[in-house]
Structure 1
Amino acid sequence: MSKLSSSTTLLASVQWFFFIFANTVVVPISIGDAFQLSSDQIIMTIRSSFFLTGIACILQAWIGHRYPLLEGHSGMWWGLILSLCTSASSVGMTYVELGGSLALGIFLAGIITIIVGAFNLVPLLQKIFTPMVMSIYLFLLTIQLILIFFKGMLKLTPNGSLDISVSTFSIGLVILVSIISIKGKGIFSNFAILIGMIVGWIFYVWLFPSNPSVNYTNFHFSIFPWGKPHLQMGIAITACLAGILNASNTIASLKASESLHGIKTHSKQYRFSFTVTGIFTCLGAMFGLVPYAPFTSTIGFLESTKILSKKPFIISGGLFALLGVIAPLGAFFSTLPVAVGNAVLFVAYLQLFGTALRSIQSYSFNSRTIYRIAFPVLIGVSLMNMSPNVFKNISFYVRPLISNGLLTGILISILLERLIKWSKYE
């Protein structure tokens, strides 16, 4: 890998910064809204998220897995928590009761993750999360993220119809970034994501002027904003199971990084990565944050930018942590239009689909073995497109798992791999 020049390192750091920001800021806001937190509490969780995410990224790149991989709020956990919030009222549970039991459940999941790293239980997990299971995970994660970003870049009016002007702008931005990524030469192709973010932000403000009011000056420190921790057995079991399945993020991310960087990931890297993730998951439980995990989707970003150096990533982690410390900075960057961020990330994550396709190139499928991939992927996608309300007659403690297409798809794939000897049918 050739050494980057100072100017390239600077631009790459800024590009990484925008990537981390766009992937992070919406999570604490949506969770705070789901738990009906006060504006001061939401501000606290946003700043905590910025600071902890930045530090987590630095530690993973330095002493964890040592790859430039975003360590952020797990999409799997994000969907699970939002699903639980949607269902809470239907079973007579207040948000404080749900939040308190979830906080304890997430803390326990973090402890389990630390134990996996500390006692080298990674080989056991690798037997469960086989290469085919990881391929299923990559396909479902790609589809889930693309659905999220596609919906996010298409703005809706108050009556639920499409805002044509903003939506057209977002589609135009997608086309622009795609053209730069495909046809751009040298530095233009490498920085297509950064160009899209900055150009999109400037033109969005010019075309759709508004006066966003974000006040970061009042900061009231508190822990467990979701509610005081208490044991609710059903929630605790669901959280621990989700924590184990969340390990698929780490295994898939590090496995994909091996191919991208052309190096072998050692056992020590897996162990340290799980330990760092577990520690920050426990810290996140205290500050009302979604649990952490290495972002497999970062592989798509790296394939788009073609810049694999760790130095810009570590610098961007430090810059991002500053957003949680310096209030005016956090206030300014929080005005990045949601439609712009989603449109650019939509293009960045298209590359992840290619990673998923390459992961199954060594397999051959026929009329029987196609069930190995088609069943979990298509069931998962079907569930992603169903409203959580469809499952309201199912037990509250099972509902979050069944209604989550990513989790269900992974579970089905694990069962198929354990119960059927597919080599007999190839």
Structure 2
Amino acid sequence: MKNQSTVKNLLGGLQWALYMISTGIVMPVVIGQSYHLSPSDASMYIQVTLLCIGLATITQAVFGHRLPINETPCGLWFGIFTMYATIGVTLFGSESETLRVLEFSLILCGVFGFILNMLGVIEKLEKYFTPTVVGTNLLLLVALCSKFFFQAMTSVYGDGYGMNLKVVLCSVVIIVLTFFLMNTRLKAYSVLISIVVGWGLYTLLGLSTPYEMPSQLVRMPRIFPFGPPRIELSMIITSFLCTLLLVTNLLSSMKIAQQMVSQYDEVATGRTKQAGSCFSFIYILLGCFGVTGLIPTSEGGGFVVSTGMTRTKPLIIGGIIIAAISFFPPITSLLSMIPESVGYAALFVPFVSLCGFSIECLEGAEDKKSMYQTVGLSVLIGIGIMNVPGTGFTMALPAFLSTFLSNGLIVGTIIALIMEVTRIHKKEKEN
């Protein structure tokens, strides 16, 4: 019985590892291209990103929130990295200098997180994450990601090329297979099996690229790979605003995970301060490696419900696997070849669960009339922003403002949070 449990945890850990790779590999690849990193430096950047994802996930699962949600590169910091890839040369002199400035900004984000946690600000914010705020956040997340899902699963990126029917066929097979596995005893490994089968089909259809063996078998990560952090006072405002928004995201992801897991198993609560401390440590670590910011992902909740893996042990094993393989370039190079369309198709079903849970959250709101107004305004503005070209903000606003105001998920969630805070304070005064 013990051996059976060990095998189950190991397979669950492997599935978590593949899930974290499939959701975390794209952003470091794009950042490497944006900063014109050499093949060696780009490979190193992927390596340290995977190492940080593994360590951050383990840190939160063991010492922080203790919930089955993984860390993944966040869109907010990804937007900052890609934006400064364009304007950083003008502001700071070169791309390498820009990356040094971003190292400083990440460390500063960790310091601000530590201060907010010590002052109790993070714990005070927790009570405002009501079903209305959480449900709104999930609806916006689904709206944001649906575009990326269908782009990847059809290979249509708005670059003048039509959809690739082979990619579409592969995606449909993976989705149908995942739905089928969800109703069998293999439910817990549905995503893992779908990725393996989908990758094999992708190769048979002649869609995959040839594997090139790296020259190094083992490589140690470098601290401050782009040089020591460069202090820029102009980044203080950006880092502080980032910290506030990321803390909001942290609390939202924790609340979502608690509500989803509590339906099936016991769940850790009252861990806000510990999660805040781990958040600070993680961002200082990210700054040391120059890795784009990470967040506990709300999508992980859908993955947990779909697979039934509500315990943290498989997640911790997955984090250990990710951290361990980051030292071996042949393995990281192979895993980085998981086709984007295969990863998104395998994660489509967990996202369906997430969409359903957002509606379930909203049904739990006490004041329905207020909820309808909050959701309507937040979702309308949030999705509206998602459909405005990014240049519409960058050409009219300062860099630190355009980064946030062009993010419909963040803006919509903040609007919902402000409206809910106002409603709660008004209700408390009346009582």
Classify the TM-score, shorter chain: 0.7 to 0.9
Query: 1:105 is matched with which residue?
Result: 105
The equivalences for 1:139-150 within 5 A come to 139-150=139-150
Whole-Å separation in 2 of the counterparts to 1:313 and 1:369: 34
In structure 2, the CA distance between the partners of 1:96 and 1:29, relative to structure 1 (3 Å rule), is same
Map of 2:214 onto structure 1 = 215
Equivalences for residues 72-91 of structure 1 within 5 A = 72-86=72-86
Bigger shift: 3-12 or 324-333?
3-12
Residues 137 and 410, structure 1, Cα contact 8 Å, conserved in 2: yes
Summarize the Cα distance change of 1:158–1:148 in structure 2 as closer, same or farther, 3 Å threshold: closer
Larger mean CA deviation between 389-398 and 20-29 belongs to: 389-398
Q: Please give the alpha-carbon distance, in whole angstroms, between the structure 2 residues aligned to 1:332 and 1:117.
A: 40
| 1:150-161 paired onto structure 2 within 5 Å | 150-156=150-156, 160-161=160-161
For 1:259 and 1:128, the matched residues in 2 are separated by 15
Q: 1:411 aligns with which of 414, 417, 420?
A: 414
Say which of 196, 204, 207 aligns to 1:206: 204
Q: Please report the RMSD computed on the Cα atoms of aligned residues, expressed in angstroms.
A: 3.0
Percent identity for Structure 1 against Structure 2:
25
Give 1:55 shift. Answer: 2.1
Give the secondary structure class of the aligned counterpart of 2:295: strand
CA-to-aligned-CA distance 1:160-186 (integer Å, 9 cap, x gap) = 21242343234313532443255x222
Give the letter for the 1:319 counterpart: I
Matched position secondary structure for 1:229: coil
Say whether the 8 Å CA contact 2:65–2:254 is kept in structure 1: yes
Partner of 1:351: 353
Q: In structure 2, do the counterparts of structure 1 residues 220 and 185 end up closer, same or farther at CA, with 3 Å as the change threshold?
A: closer
- Give deviations 1:85-144, integer Å, cap 9, x for gaps: 455579897544543333222211111223344554332222555553333222222322
Which residue identity does 1:211 align to in structure 2? P
1:158 deviates by 10
Specify which of 297, 318, 321 is matched with residue 319 of structure 1. Answer: 321
Equivalent position of 2:33 in the other structure: 33
Deviation of residue 245 (structure 1)?
A: 1.0
AA at the equivalent of 2:212: S
Q: Is residue 104–residue 229 contact of structure 1 (8 Å, CA) maintained in 2?
A: yes
Deviations 1:229-270 (A, max 9, x none): 334444321222111111123212222232233346443x22
For residue 72 of structure 2, give the secondary structure of its aligned residue in structure 1.
strand
Tell me which amino acid in the other structure corresponds to 1:414: L
1:334 partner letter: S
The residue aligned with 2:286 is 284
The separation in 1 between residues aligned to 2:240 and 2:51, in whole angstroms, is 25
Alignment check: 8 A CA contact 2:68 2:257 kept? no
Number of residue pairs matched by the alignment: 419
Q: Is the contact made by 2:223 and 2:289 (CA closer than 8 Å) also made in structure 1?
A: yes
TM-score, normalization by structure 2:
0.86
8 Å Cα contact 1:116-1:275 kept in structure 2:
no
SS in structure 2 at match of 1:293: strand
SS of corresponding position for 1:308 = coil
User: Structure 2 stretches of 5 or more lacking a match?
Assistant: none
Q: 1:228 to 1:388 in 2, by over 3 A?
A: farther
What is the alpha-carbon distance in structure 2 between the residues aligned to residue 122 and residue 158 of structure 1? 41
2:273 to 237, 262, 271: 271
In 1, Cα distance between equivalents of 2:61 and 2:285? 19
Contact persistence 1:177–1:193 (CA under 8 A): no
AA aligned to 2:249 is: N
Provide the rounded CA distance (Å) in 2 between the counterparts of 1:308 and 1:114: 29
Separation in 2 of the partners of 1:77 and 1:134?
Answer: 21
The within-5 A match list for 1:22-421 is 22-86=22-86, 94-118=94-118, 120-127=120-127, 129-156=129-156, 160-181=160-181, 184-187=183-186, 189-208=187-206, 209-213=208-212, 215=214, 217=216, 222-225=222-225, 229-262=229-262, 263=266, 265-267=268-270, 269-363=271-365, 364-366=367-369, 370-391=372-393, 392-419=395-422
Relative distance call for 1:117 and 1:179 in structure 2 (3 A) is: same
> Greater CA deviation, 319-328 or 297-306?
319-328
Classify the secondary structure of the residue corresponding to 2:326: helix
Give 1:383 shift: 1.3
**Offset of residue 220 of structure 1:** 8.3
Contact 2:48 2:289 in 1 (8 A): yes
Tell me if structure 2 keeps the 8 A contact 1:174–1:347. Answer: no
Aligned partners of 2:89 and 2:98 also within 8 Å: no
Distance of aligned partners of 1:257 and 1:414 in 2 relative to their CA distance in 1, 3 Å threshold: closer
Q: Structure 2: how far apart are the matches of 1:385 and 1:119?
A: 38
In 1, distance between residues paired with 2:127 and 2:153? 39
Counterpart CA distance in 2 for 1:350 and 1:38 is: 39
Amino acid at match of 1:394: L
Q: Distance in 1 between matches of 2:145 and 2:3?
A: 32
Deviation at 1:4, TM superposition (A): 6.4
Cα distance, 1:95–1:282 mapped onto 2, change above 3 Å: same
- Is the CA contact (8 Å cut-off) linking 1:35 and 1:226 kept in structure 2? no
Judged with a 3 Å threshold, the aligned counterparts in structure 2 of structure 1 residues 224 and 174 are, in CA distance, closer, same or farther, namely: same
Describe the shift of the 1:145–1:90 C-alpha distance in structure 2 as closer, same or farther (beyond 3 A). farther
Do 2:261 and 2:305's aligned partners in 1 also have CA atoms closer than 8 Å? no
Residues 92 and 56 from structure 1, CA distance in 2 versus in 1: closer, same or farther, beyond 3 angstroms? closer
**Shift in alpha-carbon separation, 1:215–1:104, aligned structure 2, 3 A:** same
Identify unmatched segments of 5+ residues in structure 1: none
